[in-house]
Structure 1
Amino acid sequence: MKSNSLQDLKKLRQELAERQAKAAAQEAARLQAQNKARQDQDLFARAIGATQPLRQSARVHHRPEPAPPLPIQRQRDEQAVLREALSDEFDASTLLQVDAHLSYLRPGLGPDVTSRLRRGHWAVQREVDLHGLRVEEARETLSAFLRESHRAGIRCVRVVHGKGLGSPGKTPVLKGKVHGWLVQKNEVLAFVQAKPLEGGAGALVVLLQAGRGT
């Protein structure tokens, strides 16, 4: 019994010694790693020199740019232009008054309007010259001219379309088309041929509806 107890005691002491040796070895390894890390840090500091921590600059928060406003007025103008597109196929001859000079009067207006227009009751305030333009250019120019004149409150304008003497066969192509375009425009109340000194057969005096500027 006594022999067994001594053996157990020796075994216990041996295990305790092994544990202590293992713990000592772990602590030595930890200290060695810690010392190496410190040495590496010192070596890095000597290599780069003195350093200062970066200052934290104030952050600038950029607000997203607002979406550009929709060009509503321009869209309305473009839509209006599409609605008011002038047809080249429109025959205005049936709407023209056949007298000494061809003239046009919107239905519902008194017959004295064209006579007063011809006498110069309304002074010509603006003029557009379509002479020499191609048909497409002339149509767009005339449409824009009438629209802007109406907006400005202009009541009376002169439209120069030429006599067509330079056209093939000396046929006044543009003259007939201008008649048809004017009849299709809502702004136009009446028109008459200009006086001889103001263009004669190569121009028209046009009366417009009262616009915003009046």
Structure 2
Amino acid sequence: MSKPDKSLSDEDRVLWNLVARSTKPLKGKRAVDIPEPAPASMEEAMESIASKPSVSPAARPKQIVSHSLDRPTHEKLAKGRLPIEGRVDLHGMSQAQAYSLLLSFLHRAHAGGVRYVLVITGKGSSSGGEGVLRRAVPAWLSTAPFRPLVSSHDHAARNHGGAGALYVRLRRQSPKSP
């Protein structure tokens, strides 16, 4: 018989953090700093982004972060010389459905050692508007829940869906210590 898993689920961890924030330390004891948990859902991520005060561009630290694939890698993926080891199709889903499916898909792919995946967002409505998922997915890939998983991403080549799809390079798994 194996021992039960004593690690907290994400929902339990969020609940625990809420309870821990509402408590007061005993007399003579210092309060323990509890770090802000990463948003668990798309709604929480959007709320946290919207609630942060805007900082003037002059006061904002300069960060040069490139999330696009390098040209040789992009060309190898486009020509089929690098294998696309997984793909997920988000067509016809709401943002909430697409967000949770994409996050769980990328977690499974990363855990499985997959390096390159194709995320199909679709191009959007035929009435000339740009698709909601087409705009949202690249922004999601830069948020805290995706950062430990995603190394870089870029629009796919025409034969893989063009502007309606993204190549995503997943980070390598860190070596496991004994």
TM range (shorter): 0.5 to 0.7
CA distance in 2, matches of 1:79, 1:130: 28
Shift of residue 118, structure 1, vs aligned partner: 1.2
CA distance in 1, matches of 2:115, 2:7: 24
Letter in 2 for 1:72: K
Which residue of structure 2 aligns with residue 101 of structure 1? none
CA distance in 2, matches of 1:132, 1:165: 10
Letter in 1 for 2:91: H
Which residue of structure 1 aligns with residue 131 of structure 2? 172
Shift of residue 107, structure 1, vs aligned partner: 3.1
Instruction: Give the counterpart of 1:210 among 152, 172, 175.
Output: 172
Matches within 5 A, 1:111-130: 113-120=69-76, 122-130=82-90
RMSD: 3.5
Structure 1: runs of 5 or more not aligned: 1-67, 92-105
Aligned residues: 129
In 2 relative to 1, CA 127–114 (structure 1 residues): closer, same or farther, beyond 3 Å? same
Which residue of structure 1 aligns with residue 9 of structure 2? 75
Tell me, yes or no, if structure 1 residue 201 matches structure 2 residue 163. Answer: yes
Higher helix share: 1
Percent of matched pairs sharing the same residue: 27
Tell whether the 8 Å contact from 1:125 to 1:154 is kept in structure 2 after alignment.
yes
Instruction: Give the counterpart of 1:137 among 97, 105, 118.
Output: 97
State the SS of the aligned residue for 1:170: coil
CA distance in 1, matches of 2:96, 2:66: 31
Shift of residue 176, structure 1, vs aligned partner: 1.0
State the SS of the aligned residue for 1:183: coil
Letter in 2 for 1:194: A
Matches within 5 A, 1:15-30: none
Matches within 5 A, 1:1-214: 70-73=4-7, 75=9, 79=13, 83=38, 85=40, 86=42, 87-88=45-46, 107=65, 113-120=69-76, 122-166=82-126, 170-184=129-143, 185-186=146-147, 187-211=149-173
Tell whether the 8 Å contact from 1:88 to 1:177 is kept in structure 2 after alignment.
no
Which residue of structure 1 aligns with residue 57 of structure 2? none
CA distance in 1, matches of 2:134, 2:66: 25
In 2 relative to 1, CA 212–145 (structure 1 residues): closer, same or farther, beyond 3 Å? farther
Shift of residue 74, structure 1, vs aligned partner: 6.3
State the SS of the aligned residue for 1:205: strand
CA distance in 1, matches of 2:160, 2:128: 25
Shift of residue 192, structure 1, vs aligned partner: 1.0
Tell whether the 8 Å contact from 1:161 to 1:202 is kept in structure 2 after alignment.
yes
Shift of residue 75, structure 1, vs aligned partner: 1.8
Shift of residue 163, structure 1, vs aligned partner: 0.2
State the SS of the aligned residue for 1:192: strand
Tell whether the 8 Å contact from 1:114 to 1:191 is kept in structure 2 after alignment.
no
- The structure with the largest alpha-carbon Rg is 1
Tell whether the 8 Å contact from 1:155 to 1:208 is kept in structure 2 after alignment.
yes
Structure 2: runs of 5 or more not aligned: 15-36, 51-63
Shift of residue 73, structure 1, vs aligned partner: 4.7
